[in-house]
């Protein structure tokens, strides 16, 4: 995910910005840039790829004395990772950096273009600086123009803006994306989107709250809340532990990524939810012309999200959907017909088997689409169309937020196609959209839930195996739960369709066999329940996950009240992720780097 830094002071501004960006490298990025204002003159540098490229471009640049500067590392979400799309973005005499997504950027952009503004980039960010300069024309001062601009933005953002008319000031705004300002005894001010760049420079920091905006000069930190009321900064000591800061205080990146899901899923949906339609601006509507089947192809966790998608696409889009494991597909001489849309799913966009199947589909003349988390990855470059999942970099080898955002994209895609094919009414689509809007609150990890799972985990450390069972779309979720557990705990776990147990696997049932049962209230509850009862009657140890209390279970994890099975799906997903995490922690394993596994499998 993107990173922001800012600096006001007399030290080597360029180096402070570059060092700060380096501290944010772990968050992932595909381009970077800085803008510095010294003696009324701007210097701006941008580069695609790693920070060394930006260092190379800035090697002859040095500030002499006092300057202000802003810097950014960009993870592409709107527009390709090119130099033009890299931040900071320039208006006529101002620069801006931004994290998050401006939901109403298209409307603002159209208005600005009508009034004669020329846009250089494809980003949503560029509207901020042009809107600010437009407001400057009618405002008493730059702060008034900035405050007005902030009030016109919808979405999630952390923003820093500098302008020639205020050469000692950095304007800031925060809503939904993190941002802090740090101070030391040397009359300097540091900004960043997370603690790490400030460690070693500042002793205390103020974390801005949602809705905060204002300005900072060498002498003043002026903060206003969302109602425009001035407030005091609340400084707290800055922890000096970098690794802990990178993990935002969590024990593992995987844990941080589980907790992050609520935010990244909001990002996935941002700007894509209309009143009664899904807006995928990146998709050409003709993509689906002449298409009678969708073929989904992926590996591992991405395959599980593909399998989840197959239920949604057939149920809501009424389109025939088939599923392929990439490593199988590539060698089995498959029949490929041109009325099939070939969809690959990949967090990294680099998995060798999946990439190869995409090449096969292209060679066979099929239309192709990739659901991916990394812009400019091999798959994104190759496919005809791309939907980015916007999960930000995933560092934990065991995939969590990538899966969550993939399934979110597929839920939206099934509604997008349903509209094209008229398979759901506008009212039905609107009611799904209102469910999607509820999603982020359902994947928020509560202390109570985490504590309960932590406590329960001690009973699931041994035994001769785990069965994760579910029906319908809860079957791929069961597969994913089992994969998570085996990857990081090294315990044997299998996912099974609940109704299949009696066709063989139930022979394994005894008290040392652990069954993790997914019992959604809103999808085949009675059927799934009777499958679990069959196992309970054979004395298997059962942990039921449901919103309905289940008295035949040895353990019960209650999810919160949900009004639709897809909300239950995502609630249970979080429970399964936490359960794997806590079992593995108790077993003393390295959760982020499990044995024998790599994050990106670029070999066959
Ligand atoms: C499991 C996991 C893997 C990946 C698989 C495909 O937690 O991460 O199973 O899902 O290697 O990787 P991508 O999605 O990058 O193609």
Residue 226 Cα to ligand 1 middle (Å): 41
How far, CA to CA in Å, does 110 sit from each of 39, 114, 116, 124, 518? Answer: 34, 6, 10, 12, 47
Query: Which ligand 1 atom is the nearest neighbour of the CA of 399?
Result: 7
Alpha-carbon distance 85 to 126, whole Å?
9
The finding on whether 77 has its CB within 6 A of some atom of ligand 1 is: no
The finding on whether 299 has its CB within 6 A of some atom of ligand 1 is: yes
Q: How far apart are the first and last CA of the chain?
A: 28
Closest CA to 171 of 150, 194, 193: 150
Q: For the chain, what percent of residues have pLDDT higher than 70? A: 100
pTM across the whole model: 0.86
Alpha-carbon distance 404 to 125, whole Å?
26
Say which residues have a Cβ less than 8 Å from residue 39's Cβ, sequence separation at least 6. 167
CA atoms within 13 A on the CB side of 161: 34
Q: What is the pLDDT of residues 204-224, one digit of tens each?
A: 999 999 999 999 999 999 999
In contact, 464 and 356? CB cutoff 8 Å: no
Domains of the chain: 3-246 (3.60.20.10), 253-439 (3.40.50.10490), 447-586 (3.40.50.10490)
Residue 330 Cα to ligand 1 middle (Å): 17
Q: What is the pLDDT of residues 29-85, one digit of tens each?
A: 889 999 999 999 999 999 999 999 999 999 999 999 999 999 999 988 777 889 999
The finding on whether 308 has its CB within 6 A of some atom of ligand 1 is: no
Residue 594: predicted pLDDT = 86
Residue 598: predicted pLDDT = 76
State the pLDDT confidence band at 1, using cuts at 50, 70 and 90.
low
Torsion, Cα 259 260 264 266, to 10 degrees, reads: 60
**Tokens of residue 351, six digits:** 């998995």
β-sheet with 320-325: strand ranges across = 320-325, 293-298, 340-346, 367-372, 385-388
Closest CA to 441 of 602, 560, 358: 560
Residue 375: predicted pLDDT = 86
The finding on whether 163 has its CB within 6 A of some atom of ligand 1 is: no
In contact, 483 and 454? CB cutoff 8 Å: no
Alpha-carbon distance 340 to 166, whole Å?
57
Residue 347 Cα to ligand 1 middle (Å): 7
What is the average pLDDT across 232-236? Answer: 94
Alpha-carbon distance 365 to 382, whole Å?
13
Alpha-carbon distance 578 to 582, whole Å?
6
Q: What is the mean pLDDT of the chain?
A: 94
**Tokens of residue 86, six digits:** 């890299």
Alpha-carbon distance 586 to 489, whole Å?
9
Q: What is the pLDDT of residues 465-502, one digit of tens each?
A: 999 999 999 999 999 999 999 999 999 999 999 999 88
The finding on whether 389 has its CB within 6 A of some atom of ligand 1 is: no
- For the cut 80, the answer to whether the pLDDT of residue 357 exceeds it is yes
Closest CA to 583 of 491, 471, 457: 457
3-state helix, strand, coil in the chain (%, to 5): 40, 25, 40
**Tokens of residue 265, six digits:** 């899923």
Closest CA to 482 of 276, 310, 244, 307: 307
Alpha-carbon distance 409 to 415, whole Å?
10
Pocket test for ligand 1, best of 257, 296, 299 (most atoms within 8 A of CB): 299
- For the cut 70, the answer to whether the pLDDT of residue 319 exceeds it is yes
The finding on whether 577 has its CB within 6 A of some atom of ligand 1 is: no
Strand partners, 366: none
Residue 499 Cα to ligand 1 middle (Å): 27
Q: What is the pLDDT of residues 406-432, one digit of tens each?
A: 999 999 999 999 999 999 999 999 999
Alpha-carbon distance 341 to 181, whole Å?
48
- For the cut 80, the answer to whether the pLDDT of residue 184 exceeds it is yes
The finding on whether 301 has its CB within 6 A of some atom of ligand 1 is: yes
What is the average pLDDT across 324-345? Answer: 96
The finding on whether 481 has its CB within 6 A of some atom of ligand 1 is: no
The finding on whether 142 has its CB within 6 A of some atom of ligand 1 is: no
Backbone phi, then psi, for 48, in 5-degree steps?
A: -85, 150
Strand partners, 303: none
Alpha-carbon distance 271 to 12, whole Å?
39
Alpha-carbon distance 512 to 74, whole Å?
49
List the catalytic residues: 2, 599
**Tokens of residue 431, six digits:** 């009611």
Residue 246: predicted pLDDT = 85
- For the cut 70, the answer to whether the pLDDT of residue 386 exceeds it is yes
The finding on whether 223 has its CB within 6 A of some atom of ligand 1 is: no
Residue 576 Cα to ligand 1 middle (Å): 17
Residue nearest to atom 16 of ligand 1 (CA): 346
CA angle 192, 193, 196 (to 5 degrees): 70
Residue nearest to atom 3 of ligand 1 (CA): 300
What DSSP designation does 198 have?
G
Pocket test for ligand 1, best of 296, 297, 301 (most atoms within 8 A of CB): 301
Residue 597 Cα to ligand 1 middle (Å): 10
Helix extents (H) in 58-140: 105-114, 126-136
Helix (H) or strand (E) holding 229: none
Pocket test for ligand 1, best of 325, 580, 601 (most atoms within 8 A of CB): 601
Residue nearest to atom 9 of ligand 1 (CA): 300
Residue 507: predicted pLDDT = 87
Residue 317 Cα to ligand 1 middle (Å): 26
């Amino acid at each position: 995910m993107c990173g922001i830094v800012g600096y006001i002071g007399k030290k080597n501004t360029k180096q402070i910005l570059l060092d700060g960006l380096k501290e944010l490298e772990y968050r992932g990025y595909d381009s970077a840039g800085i803008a510095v204002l010294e003696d009324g003159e701007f210097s701006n540098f941008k580069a695609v790829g790693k920070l060394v490229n930006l260092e190379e471009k800035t090697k002859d640049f040095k500030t002499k004395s006092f300057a202000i500067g802003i810097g950014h590392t960009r993870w592409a979400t709107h527009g390709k990772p090119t130099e033009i799309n890299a931040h900071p973005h320039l208006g006529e005499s101002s620069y801006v950096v931004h994290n998050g997504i401006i939901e109403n950027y298209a409307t603002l952009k159209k208005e600005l273009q009508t009034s004669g503004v020329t846009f250089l980039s494809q980003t949503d960010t560029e509207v901020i600086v042009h809107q600010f300069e437009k407001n400057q024309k009618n405002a008493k001062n730059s702060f008034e123009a900035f405050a007005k601009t902030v009030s016109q933005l919808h979405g999630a953002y952390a923003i820093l803006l500098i302008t020639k008319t205020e050469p000692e000031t950095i304007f800031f705004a925060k809503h939904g994306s993190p941002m802090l300002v740090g101070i030391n005894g040397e009359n300097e001010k540091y900004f960043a989107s997370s603690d790490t760049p400030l460690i070693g420079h500042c002793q205390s920091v103020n974390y801005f709250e949602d809705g905060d905006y204002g300005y900072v000069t060498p002498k003043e930190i002026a903060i206003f809340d969302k109602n425009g009321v001035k407030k005091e900064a609340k400084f707290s000591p800055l922890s000096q532990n970098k690794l802990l800061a990178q993990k935002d205080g969590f024990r593992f990146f995987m844990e941080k990524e589980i907790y992050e899901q609520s935010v990244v899923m909001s990002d996935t949906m941002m700007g894509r939810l209309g009143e009664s339609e899904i807006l995928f601006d990146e998709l050409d509507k003709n993509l689906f012309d002449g298409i009678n089947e969708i073929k989904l192809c992926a590996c591992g966790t991405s395959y599980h999200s593909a399998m989840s998608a197959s239920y949604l696409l057939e149920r809501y889009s009424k389109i025939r959907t088939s599923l392929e494991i990439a490593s199988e597909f590539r060698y089995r001489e498959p029949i490929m017909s041109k009325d099939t849309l070939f969809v690959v799913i990949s967090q990294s966009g680099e998995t060798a088997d999946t990439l190869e199947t995409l090449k096969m589909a292209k060679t066979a003349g099929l239309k192709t689409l990739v659901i991916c988390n990394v812009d400019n990855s091999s798959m994104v470059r190759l496919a005809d169309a791309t939907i980015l999942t916007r999960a930000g970099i995933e560092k934990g080898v065991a995939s969590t937020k990538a899966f969550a955002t993939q399934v979110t994209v597929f839920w939206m895609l099934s509604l997008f196609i349903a509209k094209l094919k008229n398979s759901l009414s506008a009212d039905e689509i609107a009611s799904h959209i209102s469910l999607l809007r509820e999603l982020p609150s359902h994947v928020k990890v509560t202390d109570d839930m985490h504590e309960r799972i932590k406590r329960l985990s001690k009973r699931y450390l041994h035994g001769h195996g785990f069965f994760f069972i579910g029906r319908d779309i809860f079957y791929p979720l069961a597969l994913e739960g089992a994969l998570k557990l085996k990857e990081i705990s090294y315990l044997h776990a299998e996912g099974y369709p609940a109704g299949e147990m009696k066709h063989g696997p139930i022979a394994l049932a005894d008290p040392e066999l652990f069954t993790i049962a997914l019992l959604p209230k809103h999808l085949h509850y009675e059927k799934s329940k009777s499958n679990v009862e069959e196992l309970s009657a054979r004395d298997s140890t059962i942990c039921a996950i449901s919103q309905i209390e289940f008295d035949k279970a040895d353990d019960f994890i209650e999810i919160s009240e949900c009004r639709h099975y897809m909300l239950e799906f995502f609630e249970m997903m979080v429970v399964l992720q936490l359960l794997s995490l806590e079992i593995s922690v108790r077993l003393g394993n390295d959760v982020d780097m499990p044995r024998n596994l790599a994050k990106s499998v670029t070999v066959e």
